[in-house]
Amino acid sequence: MAAPYGVVIAVLYLKGYWDTFDVNALQYVSLSDLLSAAIFPMVVFVALMPLAALIGTAAGGWLRSLHKTSDAVGTSSTANAEREPKNVRNGRLIAVCSAPCVLLAFFFIPAPIKWAFIALFSAMAVAPIVNNALFERLVPNTHVRLVLLLLTVSTPILVYYRGSIDATRSTEAKRERVVDVARSKLPVSTHGKVLYLGLLGDTHFLLERDSGSVILLAKSDDQLIVFTPSKAPNPIVGLPFRGKGGAHIPTAPVPQHEDKGSSK
């Protein structure tokens, strides 16, 4: 189960990133892309476990009460409602209200922040499923079941959200990778910035800043992509400057001229 789940969240991360630029990631994705994209979601999954454990501990009480109440036998719905503890009714109310909240967040909250709300409301909506009989037999502990359920439901949505955030940040001034069109000899006629978005499968993706157009460039051994340095070379003599693309640009030491004056 872990392998298919990892593939799903890797695909969702790639979709979250490339959907920002209206690129169908599934059309170009390769196996290596899936493997590299799966690393971050798994880290997120592990990092969220303490938070999910706290939520599971807090919500475990009313879920156990919900389970016990569902087993109670009453003579009428009114009698059952009177027997229900208040926390059970509140828990059911939260679960029922969370479903339409998912739709409201999807349609009315702007991207990419809406995906964080969708993840929250989705986890709240399915929380009562933790007392499913089959789920209970597989994982007897209530808190562990709730933690697994919260992470399983929310992590894929949060990973898609993270992909959207990374895509947005890749076009910011502090993080953008500007391509030197002239030195790269790209068939692009533009006087504005051309940003490098990434490599997907065997295709490089570039973005024209002014027009918003995405340029596809087939990966080739003869193709050289040169990045424009983000700042001027380090003025310290003899210290190499590491450019944005990771290239080392060595600087020659300044020759020292000896003063051969005739002063005695």
Domain boundaries, the chain: 2-169, 173-252
Which 3-state string (H, E, C) describes 78-105?
HHHHHHCCHHHHHHHHHHHHHHHHHHHH
Going by C-alpha positions, the residue among 77, 72, 70 that lies closest to residue 131 is 70
User: CA 152, 153, 155, 159: dihedral to nearest 10 degrees?
Assistant: 130
- Residue 210 is predicted with a pLDDT of 84
**H helix or E strand, kind and range, residue 203:** strand 203-208
> What was the pLDDT predicted at 126?
77
Chain centre to alpha carbon of residue 82: 45
124 SS3 class: helix
- Please check whether residue 245 is in contact with residue 199, taking contact to mean a CB–CB distance below 8 angstroms: no
pLDDT (0 to 100) of residue 152:
83
Q: What is the pLDDT along the chain (264 residues), one digit of tens a residue?
A: 667 888 888 899 999 999 999 999 999 988 888 888 877 666 766 776 666 566 556 555 555 555 554 444 444 444 444 455 555 565 677 778 888 888 898 899 888 888 888 988 888 787 777 777 777 788 777 777 777 787 888 888 888 998 999 999 999 888 889 998 888 888 777 778 899 999 998 999 999 988 888 989 888 877 788 898 866 444 444 334 344 444 443 444 444 444 444 444
Residue 61: the pLDDT is: 54
Which pLDDT belongs to residue 198?
92
Q: State percent of the chain over pLDDT 90.
A: 15
**CA-to-CA separations, 210 to 52, 164, 184, in angstroms, rounded:** 43, 21, 19
pLDDT score, position 18: 94
Query: Which pLDDT belongs to residue 244?
Result: 42
Token look-up 């918003």 returns 212
- CB neighbours of residue 195 within 10 Å: 19
